[in-house]
Amino acid sequence: MSAAAAHARLADPVPSQAPGINASTNASISADATAEALMRSALAQPASQVVVQLRGVHKTYRLGQHVIPALQGVDLAVQCGELLALTGPSGSGKSTILNLCGLIDTPDRGEIWLGGQSVGGLNETLRTLLRRDALGFVFQSFNLVPVMTVAENVDYPLFIAGVPAAERRERVAAQLAAVGLADHAQHRPDALSGGQRQRVAIARALVKRPRLVIADEPTASLDSHTADQVLDLMRERCHAEGAAFVIATHDSRLTQRCDRIVALLDGRLS
């Protein structure tokens, strides 16, 4: 499959059906309109408002014949512009909270609110559209596309969301300048250091102007000096952009720079 064909497929998160089926077309339009309304609500919240909130959330997983309680009645609220660290041993529930806040998973019980709106009744299409347009993600392993340049990697979420080309170029250039990589725009990821790749990932997460960024162990693959630089950048961009960061980490260097630390143990806030 060509790169253009791959882009075209990824640009449409709503499964397509045969042309001429009006009910399908109307459903897609309705889904887009509903997701857009939720996204606008999230983006329009004043700076003092809660960006994401978990209310009495329970989540279990089945492993063979065993039921594993991942979260047991968690209440959590994250404010706009807040850098929040989730800490705790493996299996304490950190990744589960990230998946729930990122609309990747759903709770068994309890509610999740994004930008003052409950997301409990959304179908998978609407959840996909919200992830596409309103949330940013930063991964431990960077997850950059190796055949794309730095600028193309940062541009990709905007391309998928259908942002006009001129606006995309402007926003990509601004984000690369903000993370100190304007001179590397035409380089590919394999020409960059680990810290530079993570800065690209941060720029890619923020280029959509999300209110919420989900970060999973963002410094785990970095040496101490590079990790310090990335952490300083995340804190600076968090406060400058007004985005809330929810970060799962074992890294004490990161927790020292966060606005708040939430410790988990056996699926409960400790």
Contact 267, 93 (CB under 8 A): yes
229-250 as b/e, with b when 16 or more CB fall inside 10 Å?
Answer: bbbebbbebbeebebbbbbbbe
Beta pairing, strands 50-63 & 109-114: antiparallel
| Whole-number Cα distances in Å, 227 to 83, 195, 218, 243 | 16, 7, 9, 20
Question: What does the block give as tokens for 162?
Answer: 């259908």
- The reported pLDDT for the residue numbered 10 is 38
Q: Which residues pair with 135 in a beta bridge?
A: 212
What's the mean pLDDT when you consider all of the chain?
84
Cα–Cα distance between 97 and 220 in angstroms, integer?
A: 19
Please list the rounded mean pLDDT of every run of 10 residues in the chain (270 residues): 41 39 49 60 60 96 90 95 93 94 95 90 89 90 95 96 96 94 96 93 92 91 84 85 90 86 93
Q: Helices 165-178 and 194-206, interaxial angle, to 10°?
A: 130
User: According to the 3-state scheme, what is the secondary structure of the chain?
Assistant: CCHHHHHHHHCCCCCCCCCCCHHHHHHHHHHHHHHHHHHHHHHCCCCCCEEEEEEEEEEEEEECCEEEEEEEEEEEEEECCCEEEEECCCCCCHHHHHHHHCCCCCCCEEEEEECCEECCCCCHHHHHHHHHHHEEEECCCCCCCCCCCHHHHHHHHHHHHCCCHHHHHHHHHHHHHHCCCHHHCCCCHHHCCHHHHHHHHHHHHHCCCCCEEEEECCCCCCCHHHHHHHHHHHHHHHHHHCCEEEEECCCHHHHCCCCEEEEEECCEEC
CATH among 3.40.50.300, 3.30.450.20, 1.10.3720.10, 3.40.190.10 for 21-269: 3.40.50.300
pLDDT tens digits, 177-208: 999 999 999 999 999 999 999 999 999 999 99
- The reported pLDDT for the residue numbered 15 is 37
Contact 158, 171 (CB under 8 A): yes
User: Residue ranges per domain, the chain?
Assistant: 21-269
> pTM for this structure?
0.81
Beta pairing, strands 83-87 & 244-248: parallel
C-alpha closest to that of 247 among 172, 152, 140: 140
